[in-house]
Amino acid sequence: MDAPPLVEHLKHEEEDTRSGFCPRSGIYRSLHRLGPRHRPPSDPALDAASFVFSLLPPHDSTRPVLLDSTTGRRLTFSDLRRSALSLAAALHHAVGLRPGDVVLLLSPNTVLYPVIVLAVLAVGAVLCPASPLHTPAEVARQALDAGATLAIAAPEEAHKAAGAGTGLPTLLTEREPGDPDGPPSAEEMMEWGDPLEAPPPARGQSDVAVVLYSSGTTGAPKGVMLTHGNLIAIVSLLRWSAEVSGSDGDVYLAFVPMYHVYGMAFFALGLPAAGATTVVMRRFEMGAAMEAVARHGVTNVPAVPPVVAALAKSSGGWDLSGLRRVATGAAAVGAEAASGFRRRYPWVELREGYGLTESGGAATFSVAASRRPEGRGVGQLLPGFEARVVAAEAGGMAVGPGGIGELWLRGPTVMKGYLGDEAATAEALPGGGWLRTGDLVRFDEDGFLFVVDRIKELIKHKGYQVTPSELEAVLLAHPHILDAAVVPLEDEEAGEVPMAYVVRSPESHLTREEIIQFVAAQVAPYKKIRRVAFISTIPRSPAGKILKKQLMDKSHPAILPKL
């Protein structure tokens, strides 16, 4: 099912102009609009690569669009266009890549990553990014599920793409050091391919452009199909948000993985189209990231909630005086972490947003036009988006401001469906262009969204519903707790009880009983933590979402040690 087009905002006569909610329809509509400069073209034959190329500065051969944080390697806007089209020509003519073929891309962040993304899209092939953290078996499962016919992999990851019995032809992203006689790499093809011989666009807005595998926070990963139209809308919204946020001249830091929808939308597509410079980190390390901010004049950091929480509690002496904005998405930043960050870095704007892979990473964001005091959720609906809050307690009816229920979204970036899974697609896309997110939320009277928790992760304790995020926020307020996650633990008497996984600070001697008492003093009796386990790190997706399924697998009563 295709997402509806990005249309001009129309207000119903009964719509509340403050919240965007219409009581008659039960729909929230965005309070923001795209002007003519940012409204995407309606041409159904337009593909995402052509759209991005049309927005790049035409003759900018000096200003970097991508800069390697370690080596200093630079790609200018002219380099990006020429290299992507040259690679597209080589992939088409020399490798035989054709429209509709699926290309598995297995690489950490590099300045070449956006080039490869645009080249694959320009050929009309379908891009399927994979995490370098995956095992060979996981890579093989993804490649087979997606029907990949070619892999492009970093040298250190190539054995995964070609292994596990897939027999997948593999092209290296760059020449492997010490192997001058190896097969040509994508990097070399960028040099000897002819950009004038790039194949003509062969895909349109309704065609699938990328298949992104969800992190599987509550189940097995599924292939999310985003179309060229979805990507065009994502790029348009990012250009709009950069402009209304006053981000002219900003330099961005890229440590969020580009194989994730958040990183791909920002760094491979949106920021080049917005004319911004991005400093690329191969992998995240706090000290190196903060040093890159100072060394390269970074002003804007798209981050994830754990990074914000770490910065709030950090004792590092980094010079962040030039930093203007830190933005987060996918998962909400805890109130304590957000307050601590703002106290420590009062000159830095902390902007939260909300999205998921199935919505193309987009849905809400905090823009300059909607600056607000602390504690106003994860922003307002982006232009072209609508929402419903569907409450089971209200008989499945949509509720207005203050009401809590499941968030349904409708907008131009909503996925086409799950690859090869009609049942899951039908469950997630019930009709009318709506996407069921599985998130429990509420809107306030000004149209700001608040995420309460994942519906599937609510803990049912003696008939009460306990939200893990509330308990996680309490735990993170403790000065000796660096990170925490709360999951349900089966219990014969109560059904389920809350169990906490806790990461203590290195010098701490905090005990399990002290943690249980700390939480009990601040919550109702039925919400108390009943079990605590210490852990070295909380498993999270690249977007910062806690991988509760992994922890729940650990917390089965049969495998937990006796207290």
Contact by Cβ (8 Å): 134, 142: yes
> Helix (H, G, I), strand (E, B), or coil: what is residue 389?
strand
Distance of CA 94 to the CA centre of its chain: 34
pLDDT value of residue 298:
95
**CA-to-CA distance for 37 and 510, rounded, in angstroms?**
56
**CA-to-CA distance for 556 and 535, rounded, in angstroms?**
16
pTM of the model: 0.84
For the chain, give every domain's residue range. 48-443, 458-554
Q: What is the DSSP letter of 157?
A: G
> Helix (H, G, I), strand (E, B), or coil: what is residue 253?
strand
Q: Which residue is it, tokens 């919550």?
A: 523
Tell me which of 367 and 40 has the higher pLDDT.
40
pLDDT value of residue 312:
86
- CA angle 61–84–302, rounded 5-degree value: 80
pLDDT tens for residues 123-142? 999 999 999 988 888 899 89
Tell me which of 4 and 187 has the higher pLDDT.
187
For the segment(s) 48-443, the CATH number from 2.40.70.10, 3.40.605.10, 1.10.10.60, 3.40.50.12780 is 3.40.50.12780
Contact by Cβ (8 Å): 258, 114: yes
pLDDT beyond 90 at 184: no
- Looking at domain 458-554, its CATH architecture is 2-Layer Sandwich (3.30)
Contacts of 423 by beta carbon, 8 Å cutoff, 6+ apart: none
pLDDT value of residue 557:
53
Q: Which residue, 269, 63, 84, 90, is CA-closest to 171?
A: 90
pLDDT tens for residues 431-451? 999 999 999 999 999 999 998
For 346, counting Cβ atoms within 10 Å of its Cβ (0-12 exposed, 13-18 middle, 19+ buried), the class is exposed
